[in-house]
Structure 1
Amino acid sequence: MDYNRMMIITLDEKSVLFSADAQKLGIHVEKYFEKRTLIVKLFNYIDKKLNLQLASYQYGSWKKKLKDIDFVLLNAHFFSRPLIKYLNRKFPDIRIAVWYSNPVAKDTPVSFYSGLNCELWSFDKSDCENYGMHPNNQFIDQMKLNVTKHDDSYHSDVCFIGVDKERLTLLLELEDYFISQQLNPLIYVVDSSKNSRTDYAYKPALPYSELINYEGNTKAILDIVQSDQQGISLRPLEALFLNKKLITNNLNVQELDFYRPENIFVLTDENHQDIAAFLHTPMVSLPEAITHKYQFEGWFANFF
């Protein structure tokens, strides 16, 4: 595989596809725009409403590389439709894949890409079945999993950091239960447009590097999935590569090749009393053949 002929175009450095591991392999990792100026935002708005491509005039210098590119990977976003139209028109031989890292119900409608020459890929099994999408697992960018702080303020027994997405009530119930069992939970629910209540003091967002510092100093990462989600989030992979236990209410993890009951506790309404014993059970290691597919290189190979 000639990585120099591959390109990822994404929103910004915070995007899951803005991968340091990809850059290390030699893949071109680019942002749509060098800077989203007022005129770019205006063009984005018009493009979305009228299905135009005005923003293509503001794309970054990566446009000059496209003549030497065979494959472009994009994340699902309204920015991607004008770009796909641009690529289809200017570079019709470039293969284009759109990656859904969230369930379709929480992301860009599949109809957004109707009539375009591109492939739709998802981590979510039900979305792949319902919309005819190509399946791929989630991946983790290992170069971002760098735990740099270890002082006591980062330590916990169970850690959840994320936005609400209708999960707050359950998270607070679990927090109360953990405390009742003399455990030290960190339940950090970030203020966002996904808030479900007005009587809770949501927390400011953390840089991903700080999230990793907290997860790197916990005994177990807590993963509470959205009700309509069948694929896994990034938390199971963060637990896998940070060598942490995972507590999750996602029953589908039992079907995964890295599931081991010593490492992953599947949470139900009836088994909370078993959590403390699980936290004291030694973890088991996994072979490289399994973990490789969840690293960027293994994940990217699945597109071919």
Structure 2
Amino acid sequence: MNSIKNHRILILGWPLRPPQDWLSHYPEVSAVRIYREDLPRSQKRLKDLSFHMPRALQLADSVTPSHWYGDWKEHIEEYDTVILIDEVRGRDVFDYILSHNPSCNLCAFYDSPVRPGTPKEPSRYTDMPVHFYTCDRQIAEKYHATFAPYFYIFSPCDFDTYDVLSQGECQRDVFFIGEEKGDRRTRIEEITKVLDQAGLTHELRLVPQNRHRSLFHRHKPAGTGYMPYSVVQERVRTSRAILELISDGQTGLTQRSFEALFLRKKLITTSPEIKSYDFYHPQNVFILGERSLEELPDFLHSPFHSIAPEIVQQYTLAGWLQHFLRA
């Protein structure tokens, strides 16, 4: 495995809020937003204008996109690998990076859909030395991008932490939290009926898409609104299985899949695609629509099949970065 310690890596477009303290364990990796944030309203208007201003009219510095880049632009030549995460909105960032560091390994990674005809399409940049990657198999096939599964962004470096977390006392058989959309409510009701008939415990939370409304699912515990992730992780830690209901058109691994893998929990999912991943095992993953709900109690009571540490390691930040690094 190519050691990231031999590289200087810049990740642009990282979701830094809340800050992820475990990044301090990776001194060779810098992760920042592309553009300056928390600007006054007047400056934000100028920044937005710069995105749409034709290059021929970019006569003032304030209407040039690079004017609004973060501090990373002052040190771009220090990196051998630069990865943009889902932030492709035109040629300007590619042009800036390549003009100041032409020998860098420049990559773009997609973790959300690509709408045809938009500047996000990889086919617009075939004349540039940019390597395209995605965690979506459909995008990979359509645009000839390299498939690279995403990683669990909350995974710590110290795997002993997960050895402790996964040993929590089981307080419920199945846990779910997610927004009310699509057919989720119907799915929840079907699963709830089977779990109740089998005497299995559960906490299944549907959250309204309007965050100002309270939870309305009849099985909700006290409290309303979205859970802080620390609370979600604690619920997962103390559950036997996690329920995952994939949104229409969504592909790739979700947060629920990663939580099940790292915390060694069973996964009940509507995604048949999960069978294509190396950590899949039918003893750990129950695919709704391919198995009868009547089989669910036996699935939950069967032992968890251990996954090799080297497989789990592939879904950490260090493992994910291996897809991009050159020798």
TM-score class normalised by the smaller sequence:
0.7 to 0.9
Contact 1:23 1:29 in 2 (8 A): no
Are residues 1:159 and 2:175 paired? yes
TM-score w.r.t. structure 1 length?
0.80
User: Root-mean-square deviation (CA), in Å?
Assistant: 3.7
51-60 or 246-255, which moves further after superposition? 51-60
Is the 8 Å Cα contact of residues 236 and 246 (structure 1) preserved in structure 2? yes
The alignment covers a number of residue pairs equal to 298
Change in Cα spacing, 1:89 to 1:257, as seen in structure 2 (3 Å) is: same
Long gaps (5+) in structure 1:
none
In structure 2, what is the equivalent of residue 300 of structure 1? 321
Q: Which residue does the alignment assign to 1:252?
A: 273
2:132 to 120, 140, 159: 120
Amino acid at match of 2:104: I
CA deviation digits over 1:164-211, x for unaligned, max 9? 453533443345323444333323334447x9xx99749633333222
Q: What is the Cα deviation at residue 253 of structure 1?
A: 1.7
Q: Which residue of 2 aligns with 1:143?
A: 156
**Residues 224, 90 of structure 1: alpha-carbon distance in 2 compared, 3 angstrom cutoff:** same
Q: Which residue of 2 aligns with 1:111?
A: 121
Provide the residue aligned with 2:60 in structure 1.
Answer: none
Alignment equivalent of 1:45, drawn from 19, 43, 48: 48
Question: Quick one: distance in 2 between partners of 1:201 and 1:41?
Answer: 38
Between the aligned partners of 1:49 and 1:170, the Cα distance in structure 2 is 44
TM-score, scaled relative to structure 2: 0.75
Report runs of 4+ in structure 1 exceeding 6 Å deviation. Answer: 144-148
User: Quick one: distance in 2 between partners of 1:200 and 1:249?
Assistant: 23
Q: Judge conservation of contact 1:84–1:117 (CA < 8 Å) in 2.
A: no
1:176 to 192, 206, 211: 192
Q: 1:40 to 1:267 in 2, by over 3 A?
A: farther
Is contact 1:246-1:265 (8 Å) kept?
A: yes
Give the share of equivalent positions with the same residue, in percent: 23
Q: Could you tell me how far apart the structure 1 residues matched to 2:298 and 2:272 are?
A: 20
Task: Verify the 8 A CA contact 1:138 1:234 in the aligned structure 2.
Answer: no
Instruction: Determine the structure 1 residue equivalent to 2:221.
Output: none
Segments of 5+ residues of structure 2 without an aligned counterpart are 56-62, 218-223
Larger Rg: 2
> SS where residue 294 of structure 1 aligns?
coil
Equivalent position of 2:254 in the other structure: 233
Per-residue CA deviation, residues 213-264 of structure 1 (Å, 9 max, x unaligned), is 2211211111122332342223212101111111111112222211111111
Superposition deviation, residue 109 in structure 1 = 6.3
Equivalent position SS for 2:225: coil
**8 Å CA contact 2:9, 2:30 repeated in 1:** yes
TM-superposed deviation, 1:37: 1.2
The equivalent residue for 1:208 is 229
| Deviation of the 1:298 alpha carbon | 1.5
Task: Determine if contact 1:43/1:55 at 8 Å carries over to the other structure.
Answer: no
